[in-house]
Structure 1
């Protein structure tokens, strides 16, 4: 009897732990009741919530390494050929705007968390572009100035109107930044040290974010930003496929 009571207590503990995990990360209590008490697994509103939360967490986990292939490719080649520093700056503007806007509006972390990890990796890429371009000191200055600006934007000193303007400016920043990179690829006739894995992961993530931003925040400005981002990332992804067999070395041999 004692063993049975211990097993019952352990089962209750794990059930409570499982419920707490689901309620904290994947669904509201009403959906938990709908799924696990009423056994209604086809409730559309709840399925949307769970799908959105799951995609959001998946995007965040993926973002931890989404630009790692790009960083490793730069370090392995010891070259940043084909990458535009101006494009990186505009991408950082967009990422920082999204992060600041989401924090200011108290959006759930699952709706914007990847921006934090993308920001750190994009800063690293910006530094490496400067470093391999023979401008290491400028790269270090770039890191210091950027993080000082981020601290200022996230502080209570910055008015909400400024943060909203930053988010609204994401669309032209994304378009211009991606067009700069696309023009560089077209001019070079190859994608240089651009990582195909990072490009395709960014494209897939931005597509998924259209749904999650609408579902979790209901903010049309956020959703529209991801629509624009998906379109621009799609252009770069198509260029990666088009120039798949073209390399900087092959281009140089043709010129010679």
Structure 2
């Protein structure tokens, strides 16, 4: 018997956000709930598409539909709606390196961005995340594993107006501090040891930064996130958006 993820109340919240429902233009989707469960099964187990249980339907048809939704940013649109309840008064930013499986390499550049690179952690992708005050994902960016954390911070904060931004000392750059000050927000970032002029930071509030570390631990329970198997960044980003959406539904 299949182990499914969505409760009835969760599906009721998700159903209006998917494509192919009654009233949408074009052909209606065949059993949207079972399709979402199939993609969640892949995300949770990390299995190859060909190993999808037959109870979900033809694996290739489900993959093609997943890819089509990915190309049309449907997964990101679902995530965008669910994150509208985010409490961004205090946000934490950080990144985590996702090791890439050998099958993730080799996509033709013309097919799209890959967001892969080598760092001390090996060959992989970085998820740069902004987590809201209750520990849920508010925004994320994918880059190659070699990209420095601080380079993506302003992008993560671009559409957010927090009162405080928490981050580790890797984010202690003048550009980011100016960005946070420009938002009239408080920078809760420890200074680097090599700063000529050391500055104060709220060590008590800094303890709340553990929310972003706990978020990474939660989302990596989806094995398709813990290891990257997808050749294209857009496909992997779709799984991140789906997994984050599932966490928002809990």
TM-score by length of 1: 0.25
Bigger proportion of residues as strand: 2
TM-score by length of 2: 0.26
Higher-Rg member (1/2): 1
